[in-house]
Every structure is written in structure tokens, then in C-alpha cells.
Amino acid sequence: MSSVFKKLFQQSFAYAVGTVLNRATNIILVPLYVRSLSKPEYGMLEILLLTSTLTMIVLQLGMGSALMRSVLYKGGDNRQEISSTAHYFLSLFSLGAISLLMFFSPQLSEIIFDSREGTAMLRVLFLGDLFLVGATIPMSLMRIDQKVKLFVKIAAANFVLGVGLTFLFLVGLDMKIMGVLWANTITAGLFAVFYLYINRGEWQTKFSLAELRDMLVFGLPLVPSAMGDLVLQASDRYIIKYYHGFEQLGAYSVGMRLSMVVSLAVNAFQMAWPALFFPMVKNPDSNRQFARIFTYYVFVMLGLILSISLFSHEIILLFATRNYLEAAQFLPLLCFSFLFYGMYYYTSIGLQVEKKTWISALILLIAAGLNVLLNLLLIPNWGLMGAGIAKVISFAFLGLVIAWISQRYYAIAYEYAQLIKLGVLVVLAFTASLMIQGITMQAFLMRLLIVLMIPVLLLLLRFFPPGDLLRIRNLWRGRVQGGGDAAGH
């Protein structure tokens, strides 16, 4: 049990570092964006980057997840045949799809920007997406082999190159939005070639229709899921642009980018989790392990969400300017929504094992429809707060319904009492923080005290089992002694 926790934490942390670095030009470079671009320009950049993300979700066809299932869960000695089949198929499919998108870029520009002036930007964007899709299968193979150290090293190199090119094109050459797009595209192209090279031993001239069919049975139901995910993630920003323009979208985009810190934690867990849970399912003790891991997952996520929510004003001033302080009002809602989005990934264990991914697709589509409806009802009158409320409700629907249905296929005895304790404490802490006004040192220290009180109160409420506390204490002592020995030498 402890080895599973240790491996999950180590890999999730490594993937978190790598994921943060890979998305640095969209998150860490927010201060550069908001100071080099106007609010409307930042809103346009957000729409473009979002379009890229959503294009990627669709073009990948769920093949990364399908490959992991075929190799890890099914087993067998034909891994190279499976990986080659997935890579060749996905490359040909994405090349055709990207060619169509480039051809229809003028029409897409009219839809997104109300003119054809964005045609060139969209074509550069789609070229970068083609490179990113090309790296899908090689990156999945790295996850299968749990090469987290190599993943972090590559992500660090990607970060350095991306930041350097972005600074050069955006600041040095003053290329505005086009500079950001070219920096991302060149970086994606170079690393796609590198990913293919380091996995060169995997590629064979073999192509198996049987393996492709099996992967598509698992992956194709993820396509409507991806379409639902597209609407669920993107509808608020497109509707904000329609009703309130690019300037308000710029303010909302800063809040979305900062809330992506929580999303990155979800993504890191999601990347590490499949390589661990597919083998764990066969373990007789897996039910108890899944329940305990979920409790700690919620603990970490709520701690992160509470911290960002309590210090939202300070975080915005650190990353942006006072022109974006309005984002502090809805930032807690955006962060909280990702808790349920993570639940959607975690609690669908039964659906994934039993290949019932079509159920996930159906619920995702319903949640996407609910999100669009709520956005259309709330955004016109409530503005950016309405978008935040819509996101929380629709994501909560997605996470809770998937958890309920998945229990029918693989029941997990979740630790509801512990989860209730944690939830009540977080609600009380957030409510108490609302009474603290202003951006002063005194207010900062009071909010910090509230955050630090949470683990103390959880200890008093016996949230942590004695066995887990003992393992943490022994691990801490071992690290301290190891550090002392190292220093002594």
C-alpha cells in the first residue's frame, strides 16, 4: 500500500513539474502576456490557444489512452506492433484533418474573429497542432515505461526553448500574437522530431488491423467525449466573447490561466494514474487502496483550491496588474470546478476496465449541453461570475454522475466520513476568510493562519489513520537522517 502511494506521489509530482513546464508559455508567462498585449489582444490569444487545445483533444482520437490499455492491461509480447499501428494511423489521420482545417481557415476566422484577418494566425496554430499530435504516441510510450525523469528533462528543455522564442518574438521583434504562435509552433516541431527519435526502436513496418480495431473500440467512444469536453471547456469563453467582447474575455482569461494551477494538478494525477491503476485492478486489496488514494486526492486538491482562493488578490497582482483584479471574484469558482473534473477521471475506473467508455461519452455530452445552457442563461446578465457558476454546476454534474454510475461496475467503498470532515472544514475556512477585507500584511497573515489551521484540525478529528502518520513520520526521519549523513560526509 505504502509503495503504491509513494510511486503515485513521485510520478504525479514529476508529471506535474513536466506539465507545468510544458505549458509555461500559457501560465508562467502570463505576466509577459498581459504587459505586452492589450486586454482585447489577450482575449484573442486566449481564443486561439483554446482552439489549439480543443483541436488536439479531437485529433488524438483517444489513441494515447487506448495504447496504454492495450499494452498495460491486455499484456502480450507484440508491443512494437501495437505502438507502430497506433502511430501510423494517428499520423495519417491528423495530417488529413489539419489539411482540411488549414483550407477552411478563412471561414473559421470569420466565425471566431468576425473577419478573415485571423486566417494566418489560425494556419500557424494548426501547423503547431500537427506537430503536437505527432508526439502523442511517443509520449504515451514514455508514460507506459514510467520514464518520468526523462519526461521532466524534456519538459525543462521545452520550457527553456519556448520561453526564449516567446520572449524573442513577442518582446524583441514585437510580433504580438503571431509571435506567441510561432514560438509555440517551432518548439512543438522540434520536440516532435526529438520524441520520434528517442522512440525510434518502437517503429516497425508492421501494421495490425486487429490491434487497430481493438484500440478504436476503446478510443473511438472517447471522440464524442472529446467533443463534449470541447464544449464543456470552451463554451464559456466563446459566449463571453459574443456577449461582452474580447476585453472582458481578457479578464476572464487571466482567471482561467491562474485556475489552471489546479487543472495541472489534475492532469499530473491523470497522467500517472492509468499506468498504476490498470495493474492494481487485479489486486484483491485494490478496493481499499483506491478509496484511500481518493481521500488524499481530495485532501490535496481542496488544500490547493483553498490556498488559491484565499490569496486570489495577491496572486493576481503577482502575475498580472490591477486592471485584472476583477478576476479575484470568480477565481475560486473556476478552481473549485476542477475538483469535480478530477473526480470524473478518477472515479471512472469501472467504466474504463469494463470498456464502457461510451457511458462516459454520453454523460460528458449531457454535461456539455448543461454548461452551454447555463452559460447562455447566466453570462448575458451576470457576466464573468455567471460563467464561473455555470462551470461549477456542470463540472459537478459530470463528476458526481460518473462516480455514481461507475460504482455499478466496480464498487469502491469510499471513505465518506473522512470526506465530509474535510469538506466541512474547508467550507468553514472559506467562509471565515470572507470576513477578512483588504490587501494588507495583516489580512495576509490572518488568511495564512486559516490555511495552516486545516491540517491541525484534521489531526484532532483523526482524519489521518495512525498507520499513515507513522509512515509519514518514518519517511521524514529517514530523509532528515539521510540529509545529516550527507552533510557529515
With a cut of 90, say whether residue 239 has pLDDT above it.
yes
Residue whose C-alpha is closest to residue 315's, from 82, 24, 27, 115: 27
- Note the pLDDT tens digit of each residue in 77-92: 677 777 888 888 888 8
Q: What average pLDDT does the segment 407-428 reach?
A: 86
The answer to whether the CB of 390 falls within 8 A of the CB of 382 is: no
Q: What average pLDDT does the segment 51-69 reach?
A: 80
What is the structure's pLDDT at 74? Answer: 58
Q: Which of the four pLDDT bands, split at 50, 70 and 90, describes residue 183?
A: very high
What is the structure's pLDDT at 479? Answer: 46
The answer to whether the CB of 276 falls within 8 A of the CB of 48 is: no
Question: What's the mean pLDDT when you consider all of the chain?
Answer: 81
What is the structure's pLDDT at 487? Answer: 38
- Note the pLDDT tens digit of each residue in 9-56: 555 555 555 555 665 556 777 888 888 888 888 889 888 988 888 888
Percent of the chain clearing pLDDT 70 (strictly above): 82
Element (H, E) at 330: helix 327-346
Cα–Cα distance, 289 to 284 (Å, whole number): 10
Backbone φ and ψ for 74, nearest 5 degrees, come out as -75, -35
Q: Which of the four pLDDT bands, split at 50, 70 and 90, describes residue 356?
A: confident
What is the structure's pLDDT at 148? Answer: 67
Q: Between residues 299 and 484, which one has the greater pLDDT?
A: 299
What is the structure's pLDDT at 109? Answer: 92
Count the alpha carbons within 13 Å of 463 in the hemisphere toward its beta carbon: 20
Q: How many residues does the chain have?
A: 489
Q: Which of the four pLDDT bands, split at 50, 70 and 90, describes residue 375?
A: very high
Q: Between residues 195 and 78, which one has the greater pLDDT?
A: 195
Q: What average pLDDT does the segment 324-331 reach?
A: 88
Q: What average pLDDT does the segment 231-237 reach?
A: 85
Q: What average pLDDT does the segment 117-134 reach?
A: 91
Contacts (Cβ under 8 Å, ≥6 apart) of 256: 46, 237, 334
Q: Which three cell numbers stand for residue 440?
A: 494588507
Collapsed DSSP state (helix, strand, coil) of residue 53: helix
With a cut of 70, say whether residue 137 has pLDDT above it.
yes
Q: How far apart are the first and last CA of the chain?
A: 34
Cα–Cα distance, 56 to 59 (Å, whole number): 5
What is the structure's pLDDT at 278? Answer: 62
With a cut of 50, say whether residue 488 has pLDDT above it.
no
The predicted model scores a pTM of 0.72
Q: Which of the four pLDDT bands, split at 50, 70 and 90, describes residue 374?
A: very high
The answer to whether the CB of 37 falls within 8 A of the CB of 179 is: no
14-23, 230-239, 240-249, 333-342 — which is least confidently predicted?
Answer: 14-23
What is the structure's pLDDT at 185? Answer: 94
What is the structure's pLDDT at 197? Answer: 82
Most confident of 286-290, 352-356, 456-460, 470-474: 456-460
User: Helices 176-198 and 148-167: crossing angle, nearest 10°?
Assistant: 150
